[in-house]
Amino acid sequence: MNYYIHNINPILLQLGGPLAVRWYGLSYLLGFVACILMLRHWSKKGEFDVPEKEVSNFVVLLAFFGVFLGGRLGYVLFYSPSLLLDFSPVEILGFQVPMWGALKVYEGGMASHGGFIGVILFILWYARKHNHSFWNLVDHMAATTSLGFAFGRLANFVNGELWGRASEVKWAVIFPQELGLHYGQYDLPGIGKLVEAGKLVPRHPSQLYQAFTEGFLVFGLMMLLRNTSWGKRSGALSASYLLLYALARISMEFFREPDSTVYFGWLTKGQLYSALMILGALMILWKKDLFRPQTASS
């Protein structure tokens, strides 16, 4: 059976030299723009605490301090703690900065679970600083987040990263990146020979599975819940998102090639961290008394 060989240029537009517009960066931009438009709409309707004119600044700050720093530091702590030992001598104002390697984002590595923690901590700080309701902010962010995840997972597929487990399904994909080969470094006949030699195997395009489940499917369900009376209760959307994302992530991890650490022969780190998210969702449901149906008088 002939399988599709991944051969997509990750660069959308070359600007000259090292400067380029990449699909990965565009995916983040689309996610943030969609988030801004939805939050501004809800703010204009009086449903979101952040004033409409301040929404863009809120999202930009959240993107940097929550998603970017949280996601990167989460990757270092959860998946690659060895980077903490990288004491590259970089001098700033006469000081050598330790752990510089941990912050070299251009070398890749972002963790969604770290991004969640970063976003929550940022919203907690922002809500206190501007005297907003923490639950109002975090519930509305929960309603928009999965759309950004969908774009991000599509970009993962374009980059040929985070590929799936070996499979012989007819829609399986050959990822030359498995051997460290990137776009422009190989030709299709040569890849075919590597496949015949057994050095490359067809794999699940798990990035696309995750884009649909963790992204578009969860987003659709969150929009439906948001329009229910239960979904309008404080904390309901936050708990729902944690639960829905965790279940989707745990399911999709069975198709995704796991990292080097697997517990009990099957449990991946992604599944373990997602299980903790389920516990977090249950705690919110209990703390906010969301297990009990809302009565007409409440």
- pLDDT at position 91: 31
Which contiguous run of DSSP H or E holds residue 73? helix 69-78
Cα–Cα nearest to 234, from 144, 146, 298, 147: 298
- pLDDT at position 78: 56
Reading the block at residue 78, the tokens are 């959860």
| pLDDT band, residue 89 (cuts 50/70/90) | very low
pLDDT over threshold 70, residue 250 = yes
Classify 155 in phi/psi space as left (phi over 0), alpha (psi -120 to 50) or beta: alpha
- pLDDT at position 88: 45
- pLDDT at position 106: 37
Mean pLDDT of 17-38: 90
Decide: 19 and 120 in contact? Cβ < 8 Å.
no
Mean pLDDT of 207-228: 97
- pLDDT at position 83: 54
Reading the block at residue 249, the tokens are 């992530």
- pLDDT at position 111: 64
- pLDDT at position 9: 95
Comparison of pLDDT for 63 and 79, the residue scoring more: 63
Rounded CA separation 5/174 (Å): 5
Mean pLDDT of the chain: 86
Rounded CA separation 238/116 (Å): 11
pLDDT tens, residue by residue, 109-118: 556 667 778 8
Reading the block at residue 269, the tokens are 């780190």
Rounded CA separation 99/86 (Å): 6
- pLDDT at position 118: 82
| Cβ partners under 8 Å of residue 251, min gap 6 | 213
Mean pLDDT of 192-205: 95
